[in-house]
Structure 1
Amino acid sequence: MSAVAATPGLLPLPGLDSRLAAGGNSVPWTIVFTLTLLTLLPAIVLSMTPMVRLLVVFHFLRQALGTQTAPSNQVLMGLGLMMTWFLMQPVLLQVDQQAVEPFRHGQITGWEAIERGAGPPKTFMLRYAREKDLALFTAASQTSRPAKPENLPLQVVIPAYMLSELKAGFEIGAVLFLPFLLVDMVVASITTSIGMFQLPPVVISTPLKILLFVMVDGWNLLAGSLLKSF
């Protein structure tokens, strides 16, 4: 018998017990889901978004320019986060429509919301994960190869996607490094040929590389190339 029915002088209201039970289950699920999401958010951003590729390319650019700490890690992280948010907006909208809104209205349970919400990010990752990397982790997990990549579990898709993103980031970074490496070689050969052994070539090449990067509007070109790669 419910607490309301057991209280003397009070009549039980129709459907009150069911509403209390639904509310009692909904609130803990919301708390668990929110706390889990907040705890895993940094790992999710680094492993399931374009953040890995962007940070690798930014690191190669800073090394190629020879500026060491300019832009700072905070600036590059902020730029990477904003570009990641821009690129992931369609995926986040799908997650909101398929999982968050139905869960908010009590149409699905917490587990169903998590399963539905994992669908759009998995589709995004499979779009850029190489088949070679997917096959590697499928074989390592000792699971049978499914008929479609969409049937692969997240524990296979996520590391395969990260490997693919690392490879793509290193490829872009290597191509980005070549023109600055050419400037370093030209400056080093000139300073050596005229006998300037006391002056390190990097002292001359670094301003030249920065000037070249600014003249060609390098940040705009780099951001445009990275956005077009997705």
Structure 2
Amino acid sequence: MMKFDFGKILFWAAFLIGLTPIFAVSQTVQPLQNQQGGETANPVVLIIVIGALALAPFGLIMLTSFVKIAVVLSILRNALGTQQIPPNQVITGIALILTVFIMAPVVEKMRAEAGTIQDTEAIFSEVSVKTLFQA
């Protein structure tokens, strides 16, 4: 039968745990660079993108017919006498697909009337970014 020397095991465990901060301090992180040499992650753009992603479910629910379609499909499921089939995830998926199909002409009309942004126009001018940082 083999005996374990818990003193040695405890010493080596404490030694290895004590070395981990040394390896963590030695790591350096370089910012991501794009093709032109500028930084990829602009904080203002990241905040705007994250804000838009946070408001996307609100827009889906309030500005489209998603809720109406989901309610009709749920009522149809109950009318057929099935309580669990199809599951709620399937009903939500079907409602999402039907919403995209129904709203496609509206989106095309919006894009046609809004036009396109010219390459010479700046989306974020320096004045608007400075005003945003001062606010």
- Please give the TM-score of this superposition, normalised by the length of structure 2: 0.50
Distance 2:79 2:73 in 1: 10
SS at match of 1:37: helix
Match of 2:92 in 1: 77
What is the percentage of aligned positions where both structures have the same residue?
A: 32
Q: Is 1:92 matched with 2:107? A: yes
Distance 2:89 2:64 in 1: 18
Cα displacement (A) at 1:31: 2.8
Pick closer, same or farther for the CA change 1:92–1:29 going to 2, 3 Å.
farther
Cα displacement (A) at 1:42: 1.1
- Please give the TM-score of this superposition, normalised by the length of structure 1: 0.31
Q: Mapping of 1:117-196 within 5 angstroms?
A: none
Q: Is 1:107 matched with 2:121? A: yes
Distance 1:108 1:94 in 2: 24
2:55 to 24, 40, 43: 40
Highest Rg: 1 or 2? 2
Match of 2:69 in 1: 54
Distance 1:85 1:106 in 2: 32
Distance 1:92 1:56 in 2: 23
Which residue identity lines up with residue 57 of structure 2 in the other structure?
P
Aligned length: 84
Distance 1:60 1:83 in 2: 16
Match of 1:16 in 2: none
Unaligned 5+ residue runs, structure 1?
A: 1-22, 111-230
Pick closer, same or farther for the CA change 1:45–1:75 going to 2, 3 Å.
same
Unaligned 5+ residue runs, structure 2?
A: 1-37, 125-135
Pick closer, same or farther for the CA change 1:105–1:70 going to 2, 3 Å.
farther
